Amino acid sequence: MLNSQSNIGIIGAGAMGSGIAQVAATAGHEVCLFDLNEKSLQNSKSKLAKIMSRLVEKGRVTIEESEAIQGRIKYVDGLSHFECCDLVIEAVVEKLQVKQELFSHLENIMKEDAVLASNTSSLSIASIGGKLKQPERLLGIHFFNPAPLMPLVEIVPSLVTDSSIVENVRDLIDSWKKITVIAKDTPGFIVNRVARPFYSEAIKMLEEGFADEATIDWAIKELGGFRMGPFELMDLIGHDVNYVVTETVWTEMYFDPRYKPALTQKRLVEANRLGRKSGQGFYNYNEESINAQPNKDEKLGNVILNRILYMLVNEAIDALFLQIASKEDIDIAMTKGVNYPKGLIAWGAEIGFDTILRGLNESFERYGDDRYRPSVLLKDIVNGKVTI
């Protein structure tokens, strides 16, 4: 039974694993952090020291609290140290075989009642646990980056995960001052599935010459109230990361056109124009003065916003239709996981579901592209067959 005294293991000392370790240690847990790369462990330790120093300067924590948090994290040199852990969360590379082999190894080290968890953003939890002797003790605990700041955590049970473990884990993560939602084990879970049109429809408008990056970003921020535009956000996330998630969801959804990746983004990855971290992506961060200025035509901006927003609402409605999560959890996930200004289902009701259905049908008629097909539930709502 997981509780405030449980020992937590984290595997992977990159930004995500280090962030989760910080969250667990701040909540009072003893934490073991492991990475195959000794340099990554040292970097994690030094970065945490700097973070804690800034928090002390800002008055967020005391010097004593800072020292206690850092002292609760042990940077270990092997998986044998995890035998005393009650919960282990892996945050390693998004490769199925790597995760399967890791958990098979952990299963032979850890206590029989210990809980195993993956921080995967899009891989199947059932597949990850497919080779375990006790797959019922594995589930997804998906944090968002940066883990100490982002409030949302998606809890993802597989078909065989013990239901008592799901509730126990949710209670534990709630006690870490996070906001949890339960998601079905489907590609992308809630956030990474529902958010795909935010990126893909923006790139489609760019590819067809409808508007440039700066204009699309301006419309989404200034008229839609989003904190970042899609091109700014993709550059920040990194195209190597964002494209792989899109491709994974598309492949796992049996190549459904709604999730089809864009060649434009693939070419950026191939050219190593990965965004901010490489100095250039959709925007040039080495010479920002050469980037185009937005066309602040409000009529054009509203068309841009509506094309993206209607598809986002449709995706959220379809997630509800397919019972991926509850209506409440879908809206919470999109506001707390990716900082959308409003929950998409509530936003759709505000706009009018009939207006959204009409817009999708017009796009489908114009392009003949199945990406614009309306959800069955959206049509049923507009036709008065169901209410939500």
Half-sphere exposure of 368 (CA within 13 A, CB side): 0
Catalytic residue among 107, 154, 213, 315: 154
Given a contact cutoff of 8 angstroms between Cβ atoms, the answer to whether 178 and 152 are in contact is yes
Question: Which residue, 87, 149, 281, 295, is CA-closest to 209?
Answer: 295
Q: How far is CA 381 from CA 291, 330, 372, in A?
A: 43, 17, 17
Residue spans of beta strands (DSSP E) within the chain: 8-11, 31-34, 73-76, 87-90, 115-118, 138-143, 152-157, 179-182
145 is an active site residue: no
Given a contact cutoff of 8 angstroms between Cβ atoms, the answer to whether 94 and 52 are in contact is no
Question: Which residue, 58, 1, 51, 57, is CA-closest to 26?
Answer: 51
What's the CA gap between 139 and 274, in Å, rounded? 31
**Reduced 3-state DSSP string for 280-311:** ECCCECCCHHHCCCCCCCHHHHHHHHHHHHHH
What's the CA gap between 108 and 114, in Å, rounded? 11
Given a contact cutoff of 8 angstroms between Cβ atoms, the answer to whether 106 and 79 are in contact is yes
200 is an active site residue: no
Q: Locate 92 and state its tokens.
A: 């390693």
Q: Locate 36 and state its tokens.
A: 């195959």
105 is an active site residue: no
What's the CA gap between 191 and 337, in Å, rounded? 7
154 is an active site residue: yes
DSSP state of 154: E
Catalytic residue among 40, 44, 118, 121: 121
Catalytic residue among 142, 200, 232, 242: 142
Catalytic residue among 7, 18, 44, 192: 192
Please identify every residue annotated as catalytic.
121, 142, 154, 192
